[in-house]
Structure 1
Amino acid sequence: MSSPVLGARDLTGCEHRLALDFAPGRDTMPVEPVTDPDVAQRIRAATEHRGRVRDLLRSLHSDQPPGTFVIVDDAAPRRDRVEATDRACRDGARWIADAVLRTDVDAGRRGHSELLVHDGTGYVPVIVVNHRVSQPVTVDPDDRNRSGIVTSPLWGWLPATDQSRAARNNRRDQMRLLHLYRMLQAAGLAGREQGGVIGLDVDCIVVVDLEPMLPGYDDNLARRRRIAAQQIATVPSRVGECRGCPWWGQCEPELVDRRDVSLVVNGAQVKVLSDNGIHTIDQLADADQAPAEYVGSFDDAVTFAQCWITDTPLVRRHDDVAVRRADVEVDVDMESFGEDGAYLWGTLLTDNTIGQVEPYRPFVTWQPLPTVDEARSFAEFWQWLMTARNSARSQGKTFAAYCYSEQAENRWLRGSADRFAGYPGIPSRAKVDAFIASDEWVDIFAAVGRNFLSPKGKGLKRVAPIAGFRWRDDDAGGAASMDWYRHAVGIGETVDLTQRRRLLEYNEDDVRATKVLREWMDGAAASTIPTVDDVRRRYHDAAKLPGRV
């Protein structure tokens, strides 16, 4: 085959996917395109984010002479985009947006950069990503050892030490910058050995020192090119990216057929087990001693393997199942749209002292996010929740509010208090933090983790069906709800009121699923879900059957 030419995406992630992508005789992607809604939503969100950043930067440079900030037409054919980028470089443009570099066939590189920025000596690549690349830190003026990171303002390439931030390094971002730098270098266009990343917050350019990473990049490119050329053999192993990989339909049957251990433990653990001779689920199920380098609970890993063999979806860690209960219980579920805000807080109040379940109550704004109307809906939710809590207390009743996986709810509780401070009814950050830290705010996801092992994951839609709950919408899910929201508020299209109803039903079902799961945990779970010891006995009994290995 011809010498493979790799893009930055080919430099990280699954090596077996790379080998399959470049397999001889393949002209198209396998089977069918990726349809996973989470993957599709991430792609769309990243595209929209890049567009917003480009428009922002163009406005920042709108008062500068023509040719300072050049935008390459990203809808044009690739050849035209390459020529436009070359022309902008020759003309000395200071900023080039949506640049496409000329393919370096000999070195096996192709790539594009959201920005090329002239640093006075040449061009540095600046990429735009849809995740956070830095985070604020508290600066101690007496800490003389703190060096900070290097950042540059959005309006110019002026790298300087910034002690108010800490970097959040991402290997994929680094590899892409290194790849682009080498391409610029080969074309005689490179500036200093630096690159930049504009992240989700769009508050600065995080400057990356590429020089110490270049040897590692060169080695990685050489290995990856050999894999693409089929000179290094690879085999499938389940990793995080399998979920959205078009090759999963081919790899999964092979993994199941050989009962690969990666089906029940994660990638880092797979390597440790493999290095110690444990390659199959059966070998793991029979193991009685953890390898010295194993990180995590080896007992849990063995149980996962035995669950896979005995087809057991959920296991009790202990004889008893413990979950926090209260006289008055409120189930809460929040819906957000990317990073733009939280548009819906759904609630369900149950008074167990009188056996009363109130109707589902949503607090919602249908104005497209971001909008200050979000402050109104959040304030109404908070005031209602605190009124329910105070009413229960005044009657001598215990109170608890529940969510499933509190990270998202906590983020938007705090974020809403911060963003809308001073608006009518908005609580202080201190009040929000105090509520989150109290025993009246309960994460059922954490309770599931304390009480059970779930071989196929602990997501609400994995666990609640075991408790007997079913969602009304078969397509219900976080990523699908993003599409529904676009239709519901008319982002780029006409408003579809049926999608508002769909979102409310989806949110209500999540709220009710949390309630059903909690009550099941406090009741039937202890008698219907096997313990770890039960699964172990099932496994050993099954192993004794004729024909079982």
Structure 2
Amino acid sequence: MAAVVLHPRDLAGCEHRLALDHSHPGLMRSRSDTPEAQRRKEAAEHHRAAVREMVRGLHSDQPPGTVVIVDARADHATRVAQTLAACADEAAWIWNATLPIDRDRGRRGHAELLIRDGAGYLPVIVVNHRVSYPAKPHRNDTVPNGGSALTSPVWAWVPAPDPSRNGRNHRRDQLRLAQLTTMLLDLDLATSTDPAQLRAGAIGLDADCIVVYEMATLLEDYAEVFTRREAIAGQHVATTPRRIGECRSCPWWTRCGPELEARRDVSLVVGGHQSSVLTEAGITSIDQLAHYRGDPPPEWPSNARFEDTVVNAIAWLTGTPLVRRLPEPAVVRADVEVDVDMESYGELGAYLWGTLLTDRTDASRPVRYRAFVTWEPLPTRDEARSFAEFWGWLSAEREATRAAGKTFAAYCYSQQAENRWLLGSAKRFAGEPGIPAVSEVEAFIASDEWVDIYEAVSTNFICPNGKGLKKIAPVAGFTWRDAEASGEASMDWYREAVGHGGAVTDLAQRQRLFEYNEDDVRATKVLREWIDTRAKDEVPHEDQVLGFRHRD
């Protein structure tokens, strides 16, 4: 009998966390979710519920028993019994399918859907992220090219090549599907015993198709992963902490962080893959890296500048928050400058567009914060109104500035989020009053008048403590009014501001969100002006920092 039982979530991510989770099961059971984790769970549940109702509706004209909904409120044993009964009755679609825990083989799992195909079932999971994206067309050609995804419509299992899409490889999803497929094989419920014939699927955030996976290769990878993870969970393979992105939200960080700092572990100053390469090359401590003078290790990634890691190590030892790459830092400036910051609530929409206009040619014109907002709980069509008002105001300022013979620039910090909601809003609300054409938004995003200060920071500086606005702007002297200000906290404030999910509406939180958003745009302005003026005198150049190595 297997000593441990692995859930699919145990198959990816930090190995040391897996070891700690299984060596201290009591601590894990007693821990409550962080607010961020709770929000993710609620968003995922909201998405799954929407897909469940879509599946139910698509088959509402089918005979009874075509779609079986396993009762999510029932205990585990009841859910298993309902799932196996539905399989025995050859139901075509089984929602919330829960498979028996296999203690002999050490596996457990459930699938949002089991779909009958031939004489057996295949698993389909429903996830709250995108599992495919549009294939890029040829230049001057509207027909997508190079799509590599295999997809099926959401109303029937008919997989076919989809030239309009490329799949997105999410390792966690694939390992989960592999475990579920293996469990179906062990239960003699799979569609085939031939791995080459096995398929599985995922319905992503857009919920407009099922992305189909051929399982043969994935099952081979899964078998290796499962064997190692089982040994780690059973305490047969020793692990050691290493800082990776996952650490930011890990409950074990309060234990691992001090341990890493005590041994001055190199992973504290470089990314996960880079720290593995350095460790394999015998560079395990920050001190070793800070004094390193040789060539980069042979496996060092070509897209990463090795000197930056040495600078990061020296900065960690010397407490240097920022290092200049260039003799003279530079950033795009204009006569009329507008800072922009957007606030969204998960995947439900963008409820606030904040702006700060500065006319550098007219000192009498006040630097004024303007917010375009909807306080109707997302999702809401009123989001179209607030976005249209924002876009109309921004476009009018651009046109007036040009007409006056002045230059114009709009700024944001890390435009990925803003671009997503600019384009997404234009697409979702197309045809409504004031909503721009997608081509108009695309032209703006591609223009020189849309400037990302995050990119300017990356070009001008090495950032030992990260490149987030709340890491960099304080170096330029900016302070947020709210000591709790963060993207994570703003999610909680929004819930209370609109009474989301049945919460009591707290109007004071709306003012808090306005101030948080205003501080974000003011921070971008302060940072830009600092880069253009004082940074060259206040931030050491990398040559000065690398001189640390000559103190030996």
TM-score scaled to structure 2, two decimals? 0.93
1:258 aligns with 2:263: yes
Deviation at 1:138, TM superposition (A): 4.9
Whole-Å Cα distance in 2 between the matches of residues 224 and 86 of structure 1? 28
Deviation at 1:538, TM superposition (A): 4.8
Out of 112, 129, 132, which is 2:130 matched to? 132
Whole-Å Cα distance in 1 between the matches of residues 516 and 22 of structure 2? 41
Out of 317, 321, 324, which is 1:313 matched to? 321
CA gap of 1:142–1:532, structure 2 versus 1, over 3 A, is: closer
Which range moved further: 196-205 or 57-66? 57-66
Deviation at 1:34, TM superposition (A): 5.0
Out of 362, 383, 386, which is 1:354 matched to? 362
Query: After the TM superposition, which residues 296-375 of structure 1 pair with which residues of structure 2 at under 5 Å, given as runs?
Result: 296-355=304-363, 356-375=365-384
Whole-Å Cα distance in 2 between the matches of residues 180 and 111 of structure 1? 6
1:470 aligns with 2:475: no
Give the corresponding residue for 2:221.
216
Query: After the TM superposition, which residues 24-423 of structure 1 pair with which residues of structure 2 at under 5 Å, given as runs?
Result: 26-29=25-28, 32-35=31-34, 37-138=35-136, 148-192=148-192, 193-288=198-293, 289-295=295-301, 296-355=304-363, 356-423=365-432
What SS does structure 1 have at the residue aligned with 2:26? coil
1:514 aligns with 2:513: no
What SS does structure 2 have at the residue aligned with 1:402? strand
Whether the aligned pair in 1 keeps the contact of 2:325 and 2:462 (CA below 8 Å) is: yes
Whole-Å Cα distance in 1 between the matches of residues 130 and 492 of structure 2? 23
Whether the aligned pair in 1 keeps the contact of 2:137 and 2:144 (CA below 8 Å) is: no
Task: For 1:447, give the aligned amino acid.
Answer: A
Task: For 2:296, give the aligned amino acid.
Answer: A
Which range moved further: 94-103 or 390-399? 390-399
Which range moved further: 167-176 or 496-505? 496-505
Which range moved further: 338-347 or 194-203? 338-347
Whether the aligned pair in 2 keeps the contact of 1:310 and 1:539 (CA below 8 Å) is: no
Whether the aligned pair in 2 keeps the contact of 1:98 and 1:113 (CA below 8 Å) is: yes
Task: For 1:81, give the aligned amino acid.
Answer: R
CA gap of 1:357–1:31, structure 2 versus 1, over 3 A, is: farther
CA gap of 1:269–1:350, structure 2 versus 1, over 3 A, is: same
Whether the aligned pair in 2 keeps the contact of 1:152 and 1:207 (CA below 8 Å) is: yes
Whole-Å Cα distance in 2 between the matches of residues 126 and 139 of structure 1? 29
Task: For 2:135, give the aligned amino acid.
Answer: V
Aligned-residue identity in percent: 59
Deviation at 1:420, TM superposition (A): 2.5
Give the corresponding residue for 1:547.
none
Give the corresponding residue for 1:532.
542
Deviation at 1:30, TM superposition (A): 8.7
Whole-Å Cα distance in 2 between the matches of residues 311 and 44 of structure 1? 40
Whole-Å Cα distance in 1 between the matches of residues 360 and 277 of structure 2? 49
1:9 aligns with 2:14: no
Whole-Å Cα distance in 1 between the matches of residues 546 and 539 of structure 2? 13
Deviation at 1:228, TM superposition (A): 1.2
Whole-Å Cα distance in 1 between the matches of residues 165 and 185 of structure 2? 30
Give the corresponding residue for 1:19.
19
Whether the aligned pair in 1 keeps the contact of 2:135 and 2:146 (CA below 8 Å) is: no
Whole-Å Cα distance in 2 between the matches of residues 442 and 3 of structure 1? 55
What SS does structure 2 have at the residue aligned with 1:29? helix
Task: For 1:228, give the aligned amino acid.
Answer: A
Whether the aligned pair in 1 keeps the contact of 2:476 and 2:527 (CA below 8 Å) is: yes
Whole-Å Cα distance in 2 between the matches of residues 216 and 440 of structure 1? 47
CA RMSD of aligned residues (A): 2.2
Deviation at 1:534, TM superposition (A): 2.4
User: Which string of whole-angstrom CA distances, capped at 9 and with x for unpartnered residues, describes residues 408-467 of structure 1?
Assistant: 111222222222233222222222222222222111111111111111110111111111
TM-score scaled to structure 1, two decimals? 0.93
Task: For 1:437, give the aligned amino acid.
Answer: A
Whether the aligned pair in 2 keeps the contact of 1:417 and 1:432 (CA below 8 Å) is: yes
Whether the aligned pair in 1 keeps the contact of 2:339 and 2:522 (CA below 8 Å) is: yes
Which range moved further: 382-391 or 3-12? 382-391
Which range moved further: 103-112 or 526-535? 526-535
Deviation at 1:31, TM superposition (A): 8.9
User: Which string of whole-angstrom CA distances, capped at 9 and with x for unpartnered residues, describes residues 152-192 of structure 1?
Assistant: 11112222222221111111111000100111111111114
CA gap of 1:122–1:305, structure 2 versus 1, over 3 A, is: same
What SS does structure 2 have at the residue aligned with 1:22? helix
Whole-Å Cα distance in 2 between the matches of residues 57 and 440 of structure 1? 44
CA gap of 1:30–1:285, structure 2 versus 1, over 3 A, is: farther
What SS does structure 1 have at the residue aligned with 2:368? coil
Whole-Å Cα distance in 1 between the matches of residues 144 and 201 of structure 2? 26
Whole-Å Cα distance in 2 between the matches of residues 523 and 38 of structure 1? 38
Deviation at 1:92, TM superposition (A): 1.9
Whole-Å Cα distance in 1 between the matches of residues 145 and 417 of structure 2? 35
User: Which string of whole-angstrom CA distances, capped at 9 and with x for unpartnered residues, describes residues 267-325 of structure 1?
Assistant: 11112111111111111111122112201110000000000111111111122111111
